[in-house]
Amino acid sequence: MIFETIIGSIKVGGESVLPFLIQEGKVPNKPVIAFEVWDMPPYDFPQSLSEPFGNALNNPLDWALKCVNDYGAKLLCIKLQSINPDTLDKNSKEAVKFINNLIKAVDVPLIIQGSGNKEKDNLVLPEIASIAKGKKYLIGSATQDNYKILAKTCIDNNHSIIAESPIDINIAKQLNILLSDAGVEPSRIVINPTVGSLGYGLEYAYSIMERARLAALAGDTMLAQSFICFAGQEAWRAKEAKAKMSEMPAWGDEKKRGLLWEIITAISFLQSGADILVMRHPKAIKAVENYLNDLLP
C-alpha cells in the first residue's frame, strides 16, 4: 500500500492498487492538482499561458489569489524562483515576507519548492519552514547529495518533504532510505521522479513510476510514497506547446495545442501513478479535474 501523506487539510496517496483500478482495491484519495505560482513574474510563459492570469502575473500575490479566488485552486505550489542567483538573487527576508503575506491572504495549503540552487535553497527553505511551522506543508526538494538540512527543518517544523531523483528508481529508493535514516517518517516523503513532457522523454518517467509502483504494491516500503509530477512546467517547455500557428501552421492552433500538451502530459502521469500534479493553465487543470471525477466518482 502507498503511504498516505498530509498536506495541510489535504490527504494524498493511500492507494492499494494501480491507478484507478478501484474494482480490486482502494483509492481513498483522489489525486490532487496544485496550481503552480512563482514568487516573481514568469519569464518563459507563452502568451496562451499568461492570458488567463492577465496582469496578476506581475505580482505573485495577485497571481496566487487569482488561482484561488477565480479558478478554485485547493492547493498551490509556490516556486521560489526569485532567490536563484541566475534570476533575481533575492534574499531570504524577501522570500519569507512573500510567504508570510501569502499565508495571510489564502487559506489553501502550500507546496513550497526551492529554486534548484542548493546553497540558496539551504539558506532560505529552513526560514520558510519555520514561519510555517505546524502547517504541514510539503517542501522541496531533497536530492541525494543535498537532503540533510531540508530533512531536519521539515522534521523540526512538522512539514513533509519532496524527494527528487533523476528518473532513476534506485536513486529514488536510496534517497528515501537516507531520509528515513535522517528521521523523516516514510509517510512524510513524496517522490518527485523528474518527469519529461509529452514528446520529450515522457515515457522514461512513465515506466520508472510504473516500476516503482509495482514494487511498492508488492511490499517495498521505501518506494511506497506518493508521486508528485511537475507536468505543467515540462509541457510548457515543449515547442509543440509554445509555437504560434503562424510559425508552425501544420500543427494547428497554439491555444488548443498548449492546453493539450499540458493535459496529455498530466493524464499520462496519472496513469503511471501520480498522486499530486503541479500544473499551470486553469483550463488544463479544470479538464484534468473533470477527468479525475469521471475516474473516481
Partner 1 sequence: MGLSGLDIYKLLPKTNCRECGYSNCLAFALAIAKKAVSIDKCPHISKDVKQKLLEAVLPAMKLIEIGINDRKSLTGQETVLFRHEEKFHNPCLLGYILDDNLNEEEFDKRLLDISNIKFERVGEIIKLDLIALRNKSNNSEKFKNCIKKIALLSNLNIVIITDNLQILKESIDIIKSNNALIYFTKDLTDTNVLDLLKKYNPPIVISADRLEEFDNIIPKLIDIGLNNLVLETKSKNVQNKLWDLTQIRRLALKKKNRAFGFPQLVTVKKDDDFSGVMQAATFITKYANVILLENFGLEDIFALLTLRQNIYSDPQKPLQVEPKAYAIGQVTDNSPVLVTTNFSLTYYTVLSEVEASKIPSYIAAINTEGMSVLTAWAAEKFTPESITKGINDYAIKDKVKHNKIIIPGYVANMNKHLEDLSKTKVIVGPKEASGIPSLLKSLYK
Per CB under 8 A, residues contacting partner 1 are 20-23, 166, 198-204, 206-207, 210-211, 214, 237, 239-240, 242-243, 250-253, 256-257, 259-261, 263-264, 267-268, 271-272, 283, 287-288, 290-291, 294-297
Amino acid sitting at position 69: N
Binder to ligand B12 among 200, 220, 251, 296 (CB under 6 A)?
Answer: 200
Q: Does 201 contact ligand B12 by CB under 6 A?
A: yes
Evaluate whether 234 touches 195 at the Cβ level (below 8 Å): yes
Query: Binding segment for ligand B12 among 29-37, 119-127, 195-203, 265-273 (CB under 6 A)?
Result: 195-203
Query: What is the closest distance, in whole angstroms, from the C-beta atom of residue 25 to ligand B12 in the complex?
Result: 29
Query: What is the closest distance, in whole angstroms, from the C-beta atom of residue 158 to ligand B12 in the complex?
Result: 28
Query: What is the closest distance, in whole angstroms, from the C-beta atom of residue 257 to partner 1 in the complex?
Result: 5
Query: What is the closest distance, in whole angstroms, from the C-beta atom of residue 116 to partner 1 in the complex?
Result: 13
Q: Does 204 contact ligand B12 by CB under 6 A?
A: yes
Rounded CA-CA distance 21/295 in Å is 9
168 binds, among partner 1, ligand B12, none (CB under 5 to 8 A by kind): ligand B12
- Of 127-186, binders to ligand B12 (CB under 6 A) are 166-168, 171
With CB under 6 A as the rule, give the number of residues binding ligand B12: 10
Q: Does 291 contact ligand B12 by CB under 6 A?
A: no
The contact pattern for ligand B12, residues 64-93, with x = CB under 6 A and - = no contact, is ------------------------------
The DSSP string of the chain is -PPEEEETTEEEE---SSTT-GGGS---S--EEEEEEESS--SS--HHHHGGGGGGGGSHHHHHHHHHHTT--S-EEEE-GGGSTTTT---HHHHHHHHHHHHHH--S-EEEE--S-HHHHHHHHHHHHHHTTTS--EEEEEBTTB-HHHHHHHHHHT-EEEEE-SS-HHHHHHHHHHHHHTT--GGGEEEE----BTTBBHHHHHHHHHHHHHHHHTT-TTS-SEEEE-HHHHHTTSHHHH--TTT-GGG--HHHHHHHHHHHHHHHHHHHTEEEEEE--HHHHHHHHHHHHHH--
Q: Does 211 contact ligand B12 by CB under 6 A?
A: no
Binder to ligand B12 among 15, 39, 121, 234 (CB under 6 A)?
Answer: 234
Where does this chain bind ligand B12 (CB under 6 A)? Answer: 166-168, 171, 194, 196, 200-201, 204, 234
